[in-house]
Amino acid sequence: MRILIVEDAVALAEVLGEGLRDQGMAVDVAHDGLTAAVKLDLNDYDVVLLDRDLPGIHGDTLCQSITEREERPMVLMLTAAGSPGDRVSGLTLGADDYLAKPFHFPELVLRVRALARRRPFARARTLRAAGIELDPARRTATRDGRRLDLSVKEFALLEALLRARPAFLSAEDLLEQVWDENADPFTNTVTVTIGRLRRKLGGPPVIITSPGVGYRITDPDPSDETG
């Protein structure tokens, strides 16, 4: 799941970003409307956390432009104005949900996940392939009924591969989907995390590597227990 935080209060944006990354989300941050508009053109986001009172392009204007996109992210509007009239106004602009500041972070996480599931072309809630079952909402994953103890990044990596199946995802694709725009494209992070994930999934192996192409999930070959 990829999130864009648009918040001009730098300290708050950093806290939200770190908190959502700890929940396994890839998070980008913009501190003004102009930067946010550029990021929205470059990247595919599931949810945008949008502060209403922004420099550059006002949050109301940005929200309206997002709703005009063909495959748009869901918008959770954040604002210090929390009266019923303010909420109605925000939703009228096209926001999908509205949360007044201050708010409890666990509630924000629940709302973000709920919005991602409501996205019109969101995938099935539980992902199944090659004996693996992964539930993004409950943060659970099993293989052949055995619970997998995955780190945040391992879980997100497995989710990305399952969603893309049967297609390959390149290392660059995975960096974009699982990490964020600040990830070093020359790092071996993807290779290392894939290696850890393979060991936890056990045999027979289900993650196939094609040099120069990327990685994908495939049905296991029972005769191959090498991993």
Contacts of residue 34, defined as CB under 8 A and 6 or more positions apart, other chains included, come to 56, 57
Q: What class, spelled out in words, does domain 127-217 have in CATH?
A: mainly alpha
Helix spans in 68-188 (H): 84-92, 105-118, 152-164, 171-178
What CATH topology corresponds to 2-118? Rossmann fold (3.40.50)
Per-residue tens of pLDDT for the chain, all 227 residues: 889 999 999 999 999 999 999 888 889 999 999 999 999 998 889 999 999 889 999 999 999 999 888 788 999 998 876 555 565 665 677 889 988 888 999 999 999 998 988 887 655 578 899 999 998 877 899 999 999 999 989 999 999 999 888 889 999 889 888 887 766 766 788 999 999 999 999 989 999 999 989 999 998 765 554 44
Domain boundaries, the chain: 2-118, 127-217
